[in-house]
Amino acid sequence: MTDPTAAVLSSFSSALADIVARTRHAIVSVHSHRSRASGFVWKPGLIVTADEALADEGEVSVKLADGTARLASIAGRDHTTDIALLRFDASDMAPVVLSSVVPDLGSLSVVVAAEHGVATAALGAVSLVGSRWRSLRGGEIDARIELDVRLRPSHEGGLVLNASGEAIGMAVRGVRRVLVIPGATIGRIAGRLEIHGRIARGYLGVGLQPVKLDDGVGAMVMSVDRSGPSAAAGIRQGDVIVGWNDEKLSGVRSLIRSLGPDSVGSVVDVAILRGGEPVRIKLTIGERADA
Under-70 pLDDT residues of the chain:
1-2, 290-291
- Cβ count near 117 (within 10 Å): 18
Q: What is the pLDDT of residues 44-53, one digit of tens each?
A: 999 999 999 9
What pLDDT, on a 0 to 100 scale, did the predictor assign at position 290?
61
Note the pLDDT tens digit of each residue in 14-36.
989 999 999 999 999 999 988 99
Q: What is the per-residue pLDDT for 134?
A: 86
Q: Over the stretch 209-245, which tens digit does the pLDDT of each residue have? A: 999 998 889 999 999 999 999 999 999 999 999 999 9
pLDDT for the residue 184: 97
pLDDT of 42 reads 97
The Cβ of residue 178 has, within 10 Å, a number of other Cβ atoms equal to: 24
Query: What is the pTM assigned to this prediction?
Result: 0.81
Q: What local confidence, expressed as pLDDT, does residue 6 receive?
A: 81
